[in-house]
Amino acid sequence: MRITEWGYTNPVISPLYSPPPLLWRDTKVVLVVYETSLDRIRAVLPEPMEPAGNKVIAWVSDTPLGTQGACGEACLYVQAKFGKYVGTYEPYLYVTSEIPLAAGREIWGFAKKLASIRVFAEREIYRGDVERVGTKIMSLQTTVDVPASFDELPWGTDGVFSLKVIPGAAEDEPPLRQLVLTAGKVNAVEGHFFKGRGSVAFEHSDIDPLDILKPERIVAGYYGIIEMYLPLGKIVHRY
């Protein structure tokens, strides 16, 4: 095959996924915003990023329709800044299928692993659970007391940072290391986003130590239906 005949990604004869932008529709999401210590945020932020605040956004979602198929996703966002850029960074990120896993790691460097993810309602509480090999590494709960705006969440102004790390294929080949910033778009479906009393629980795992970012104060919980758009990012730092 000539290079001009290659697909967008491996395997080039039958690519696993198509080029960005990525689209998600009718996504159900449970979110909890909480405060932790700046020292805990510094412990998960790769240099040269610095904390931009002490708030964390815990996220669990279920997408039935998207350009990478149906998928569950879960992550923790911390407030981060680098130079003139202010946004968030995801030290922990999980998905339920191989296409978003491979594309997220290969294109942007999102730190994705596979996990079992559920979003569901039980009485007046909406829940998001994340389990890896028998350990419930994160569980979110929220009530839906009042209508809310997605803009209330502490995202920053410039997008999401990700750390792209690809090991070298030869012994003397250095790894590729890039700090990437991506300005995606997330919109709540009108009339379908609510705020309430939130709760976060982490079951300790030395393999997935999300409890490094344990909460000190819960700000609020959120539940709703959202739509997302993710374009290519830009490289803001090369290591």
Residue 190: give its domain's CATH number: 2.40.400.10
Residue 107 lies inside a defined structural domain of this protein: yes
Max alpha carbon distance in the chain (Å)? 58
Residue 221 lies inside a defined structural domain of this protein: yes
Residue 171 lies inside a defined structural domain of this protein: no
- Please give the residue range of the domain that contains residue 199: 18-157+185-232
Q: What residues have CB less than 8 Å from 88, skipping those under 6 apart?
A: 57, 77, 78, 79, 80, 154, 155, 156, 160, 161
Residue 4 lies inside a defined structural domain of this protein: no
pLDDT at residue number 6: 94
Tokens read off for 70: 């149906």
In the chain, the number of structural domains is 1
pLDDT at residue number 178: 98
| CB contact at 8 A, 226 and 27 | yes
Residue 101 lies inside a defined structural domain of this protein: yes
pLDDT at residue number 193: 98
pLDDT at residue number 130: 98
Give dist(CA 28, CA 60) in Å, integer: 8
| CB contact at 8 A, 58 and 34 | yes
Give dist(CA 71, CA 62) in Å, integer: 6
pLDDT at residue number 55: 98
Residue 237 lies inside a defined structural domain of this protein: no
pLDDT at residue number 34: 98
Give dist(CA 153, CA 138) in Å, integer: 20
Nearest residue to 164 via CA among 225, 73, 103: 103
pLDDT at residue number 58: 98
Sites in the chain below the pLDDT cut of 50: none
